Amino acid sequence: MDTVLPILPGLSRPAILARVATTPGKSAEAVVRRSRGRPSVPVEKIVATALQIVDEQGADALSMRTLAQRMDSGTATLYRHFANRAELVAQVIDLVYGSVEVDIERLRAMSWQEAIKAAAQAMFDSLREHANVAPLFVDQFPVGPNAMVQRERLIALLLDNGFAPKLAARSYATLAHYVLGFVAQLEGRTTATETGDTRPPTQFGGALLPAGHHLGAAGDCDAVVEAEVALMLGHAAPVRRI
């Protein structure tokens, strides 16, 4: 059948398409669309969809293939933007950091202790909304633009309040690690509930642990975060100029 384009010298594009359209079961438009490949997908949409998968199904459910299927696309489309899953995960983590609402001007009007408490609570609130993301932090240190902005703002706040540079950086790292660890505990608690392990934290092997009663009673996560951040700040205050 005379449909091979190289043997049609001198024909215009409309004429060539008309010949191609004579191929059984195919239209000229379909042939042209296929030759152009899949359209590019915005990075923002890819990352938002990846976060949606993690929120709904957990961190282990996120793969390039699963993401491509969710977006009704191909993995090749994703690899145009990300070399591997690790690069995708880094942007998912940074998207979560971008949801942290910290009013730096309001924090500057507070004492540094109250400002750090407020910042820790803001970080916790955002991460708690996406608790399934916590396991992704095991292999990824937050280095995206949103994470860096949060870090630099809080370190600058500590520097303005007399902290030595090294202590300010370490204090921020301690705070961030604590908040993340607490969110990871919440994620683990949800997993235990889903698998049927609903024992209260005050029980171990059927025996009641009296000291653990206080932990079990502290069901208000916000109150626990505030109390433990205050404890850390109490240790930081005497040495902030070191």
If you average pLDDT over residues 112-136, what whole number do you get? Answer: 90
Residue 93: pLDDT over 70:
yes
Q: State the chain's mean pLDDT as an integer.
A: 75
**Alpha-carbon gap, residue 228 to 173, rounded angstroms:** 15
Confidence (pLDDT) at 196: 54
Percent of the chain exceeding pLDDT 70 equals 61
Domain locations in the chain?
5-36, 43-97, 104-239
Among the listed ranges 44-58, 109-123, 181-195, which one has the minimum average pLDDT value?
Answer: 181-195
Confidence (pLDDT) at 3: 46
CATH topology of domain 104-239: Tetracycline Repressor; domain 2 (1.10.357)
3-state secondary structure of 203: strand
Task: Give 206's contacts (C-beta < 8 A, 6+ positions apart).
Answer: none
The reported pTM is 0.67
* Helices assigned H by DSSP within 26-144: 28-36, 43-57, 64-70, 75-79, 85-97, 104-108, 112-129
If you average pLDDT over residues 1-6, what whole number do you get? Answer: 47
43-97 belongs to which homologous superfamily? Homeodomain-like (1.10.10.60)
- Do residues 120 and 179 touch, judged by C-beta distance below 8 A? yes
| Residue 194 burial (10 A CB sphere; 0-12, 13-18, 19+) | exposed
- Do residues 124 and 180 touch, judged by C-beta distance below 8 A? no
Task: Give 88's contacts (C-beta < 8 A, 6+ positions apart).
Answer: 46, 47, 50, 62, 64, 67, 78, 82
Confidence (pLDDT) at 28: 45
43-97 and 104-239 have identical folds: no
**Alpha-carbon gap, residue 102 to 151, rounded angstroms:** 11
